[in-house]
Copies of this chain bind each other. A is one copy, B any other.
Amino acid sequence: MNCQYILQYLHKHRIHISTPMAKQIKIKDIARMAGVSAGTVDRILHNRGNVSASSRAAVEKVLAEVDYKYNIHASAISLRKEYKIDIVIPTALGGEYWGAVQNGFEHALHEYRDISIDCRFHYYNQFDVYSCRSAYSELKGSEPDAVIIGPTFVEETIVLCRGLEEKNIPYIFVDSRIEGTSPLTTYTTDQYACGCILGRLLGSLTPKESGIAIFGAKRIGNRKANNSLERKKGFLDYFSSSGDKRSVKEASYSVLNPDDNEEEVMTFLKENPDIKGIAVLNSRGYIIADLLKAKGIRNIIVVSFDLTGNNRRCLEDGSISALLCQRPELQGFNAIKSTINHLLYKQDEPQVNHLMPIDILMKENLPFYRELFEI
């Protein structure tokens, strides 16, 4: 009769046992058991060399038997090293997508405030590839212990990562994953799947046979963002593989110069009068929704990404019908957390690519998603 059966039996018969925490074993205990000093145990635990084969064998024998977990608090106070982290992400004002990621960073830095971390932020304009290049080049001289990157442009990021790899500096991605790099971990959502789900939502919200459009943002330097590319692929594949055959048109709009949009978008809609649904492939759905409202157009369904302040407003007033959200605060929080675990405790998550849940927000469940961090 093994443990599992016992547990099942206890559960079935509603029997419960109180489980007093096992007394934590300490370095001194191990030293005593192995017949060496605490210093030697510490050297072995941290792979700092200068240990004889016999001592190592004795200690490792003990380690194999007992379940030693060092005390994080004791470790943290005696470990006084200051760590340097560089963070490169797009600029954001409060309430925008990257502002939420930034909140997550700050939340984590606060939670780990008793660990000395010198965190330097470098911002770039996500709609301008040149701005990204210049932010990346700021990292050249820096010798941080780790780098957290919120990437937008593929080639530039690959170059940056090559450089970091040469210098043996670990890096972590948030929001998007770039193929052909080797990050320590990644926090993102499956952007291809996001595209599929968006297709599914828009398909079910609009009448069959109606036309559909996808809108992407114009970027200076005429380069596509990694996420948008993936999402578009998923979106198109959904419609080509499902029974739901639609005409899907593509258009673009400007975030930096919103005044230009009116004419361009209206012309596009006039040329494609069958369009009843628009998918905005980034977090700026409100720009299109506001434009449609201003023009008195009420019969076009808009879906988009991320719970920004403006998107929240549009979801409330019905001009956006659904949003897909990807827990940006949690991504930021976890990026810092796993960086710390890596640097201080050499603990790496087994799972390299952490896929966040894709939350579907509609008017009804919106009130319960606060911008505030849910932890």
| A→B interface (CB under 8 Å) | 8, 11, 14, 16, 18-21, 24, 69, 71-74, 76-77, 91-93, 109, 113-114, 116-125, 131, 189-190, 193, 196-197, 200, 327, 330, 334, 355-360, 362, 364-365, 367-370, 374-375
Contact = CB atoms under 8 A, between A and B. Distances in A.
A13 B8 CA distance: 62
B114 A24 contact: yes
Contacts of A19: 119-121
Nearest to A360: B360
Nearest to A17: B121
A96 to B, nearest CB: 10
Contacts of A121: 16, 18-19
B73 A196 contact: no
List 4 tightest A-B contacts by C-beta distance, closest first.
A73-B73, A18-B120, A73-B76, A197-B364
Given A11-B93, A16-B91, A357-B374, 20 more contacts: A14-B123, A14-B124, A18-B120, A18-B121, A21-B117, A21-B119, A73-B74, A73-B114, A74-B114, A77-B77, A189-B368, A193-B365, A197-B365, A327-B374, A356-B374, A357-B369, A359-B360, A359-B365, A360-B360, A375-B375
Contacts of A8: 93
Contacts of A123: 11, 14, 16
Q: Which of A72, A117, A327 has the most CB of B within 10 A?
A: A72
A331 B89 CA distance: 31
Contacts of A370: 357
A122 B74 CA distance: 32
A370 B197 CA distance: 17
B74 A14 contact: no
A357 to B, nearest CB: 5
A293 B122 CA distance: 56
A125 B190 CA distance: 39
A71 B78 CA distance: 12
Contacts of A91: 11, 14, 16
A245 B11 CA distance: 44
A190 B48 CA distance: 53
Contact of A71 (B14, B71, B114, B359): B114
